[in-house]
Structure 1
Amino acid sequence: MHYPEPISKLMDSFMKLPGIGPKTAGRLAFFVLSMEEEHVLDFAKALVNAKRNLSYCSVCGHITDQDPCSICQDDKRDQSIVCVVQDPKDVIAMEKMREYGGLYHVLHGSISPMDGIGPEDINIPDLLKRLKNDQIKEVILATNPNIEGEATAMYISRLLKPSGIRMTRIAHGLPVGGDLEYADEVTLSKALEGRRDL
């Protein structure tokens, strides 16, 4: 089916987003056409505003509208602990929990030889520079529990071992409310590995 050029371009723009195929792009484009012009303009302004006014914190790599970010500027946070995560979304997830009071370091990816991503392609060199600070006593590796995340955590822990900084890894395993019978072997294995005394 041939669409008028403005709709076609709008659909092409939507398809650049992850997980959006031609059908969803078409639905979104026609939904935008049905919106009031004021709402469409607000939507467009929000996109432009986010792109222009957000950057990455020069200290931790988290997404921010000020540099350094509000987390790095907060002197009430424990300056001796750094939690290493893969993406800014992981910082947001950790902050929702309201249990962690230390600092963060965002890698912006994970080591993946299959995709040609090595340690120098993610934010590891900046982490090493940052850890020269005598104040940091513990690094929590909170990369994803997949092959790439495990490889990244292992690489960082081997790199930092000589420094004497305490290295910890977040526990992986069964979610609260989960059933053993539905868990896969890897999840059960990680849950067993991470067991603790009661």
Structure 2
Amino acid sequence: MAASAGPEIERLISLLAKLPGLGPRSARRSALALLKRRDALLLPLADAMSQAAARVKTCSVCGSLDTQDPCAICSDPARDASLICVVEEVGALWAMERASAFRGRYHVLGGLLSALDGVGPDALRIGALIGRASDGGVREVILALPATVDGQTTAHYLADSLAKAEVSVTMLARGVPVGGELDWLDDGTIAQAMRARRPA
């Protein structure tokens, strides 16, 4: 930090540096940009953050973020309540919604099982998922979890836990992305695409 920066600027930089993807240098650049454009950027951002802190809450049904509880997705009668798509975090839910490929409901776990990080089933919203899947109105639970060791461990745990709920448990397909070229893909993606091949 610059020696001439006052405590307010230093605090702004240190808070920005805690955001994902921003290190100390990026935080300094961001703080400078905000301060240079105080009326156009800093004050509206501060107001938006204040309103978000006061109004945004966690949906008691799915775990998403919204200004209403239940959230807009859980409250939408046009959504198929018999389909639940399980995601790790709210960001993954937003990505699914951007794709407009799913018209059911969601369940945000709040993380993944991880023995190394000490994250067990009780730390996630697994009990709530099993409760929702067991209520009789759900026919399929789609596991849309990352293709990582922790993601796969969590998926297997959920599949075992949902066995008694008598619902179909499926996973997102993995493999070659649309527009992807084989020479740019990693070995794991190519191997998974071969295993998940289907009739042409």
Give the letter aligned to residue 88 of structure 1. V
Q: Give me the CA root mean square deviation.
A: 1.4
Q: Report Cα offsets for 1:9-57 as digits up to 9, x if no partner.
A: 1111111212222211211222222113364221101111112211111
Residue 148 of structure 1 corresponds to 150
Residue in 2 that maps onto 1:113 = 115
What is the CA–CA distance in structure 2 between the aligned matches of 1:138 and 1:70, rounded to whole Å? 21
| 2:187 partner letter | E
User: SS where residue 113 of structure 1 aligns?
Assistant: coil
Alpha-carbon offset, residue 141 of structure 1: 0.5
- Which one of the candidate residues 114, 137, 140 is aligned to 1:138? 140
Counterpart amino acid of residue 83 in structure 1: C
Distance 2:6 2:185 in 1: 49
Identify the match of residue 73 of structure 2 among 48, 71, 77: 71
Residue in 2 that maps onto 1:90: 92
Q: Which deviates more, 128-137 or 34-43?
A: 34-43
SS at the partner of 1:82?
strand
Q: Give the stretch that moved more between structures: 125-134 or 31-40.
A: 31-40
Partner of 1:178: 180
User: C-alpha distance in 2, partners of 1:134/1:67?
Assistant: 23
**Cα deviations by residue, 1:131-189 (Å, 9 ceiling, x for unpaired):** 12101011000011111111111100011123321110000111111111222221112
Q: Deviations over 1:81-131 (max 9, x none)?
A: 111011111111111122211111010111111111111111101111111
Correspondence for 1:195: 197
Q: Greater CA deviation, 178-187 or 120-129? A: 178-187
TM-score normalised by length of structure 1: 0.94
Secondary structure of residue in 2 paired with 1:178? coil
Mapped to 1, the partners of 2:174 and 2:198 lie a distance apart of 12
Sequence identity, in percent? 37
| 1:21 maps to amino acid | G
Q: Which runs of 5+ in 1 are unaligned?
A: none
Q: Distance in 1 between matches of 2:36 and 2:54?
A: 27
Which residue identity does 1:10 align to in structure 2?
L
SS in 1 for 2:116: helix
Structure 1, 35-44 or 136-145: larger mean CA deviation? 35-44
Residue in structure 2 matching 1:34, options 26, 36, 44: 36
Return closer, same or farther for 1:100/1:38 CA change in 2, 3 Å cut-off: closer
- Provide the secondary structure at the position in 1 that maps to 2:86: strand
Number of equivalent positions: 198
| Residue aligning to 1:168 | 170
Question: Are positions 1:58 and 2:60 aligned together?
Answer: yes
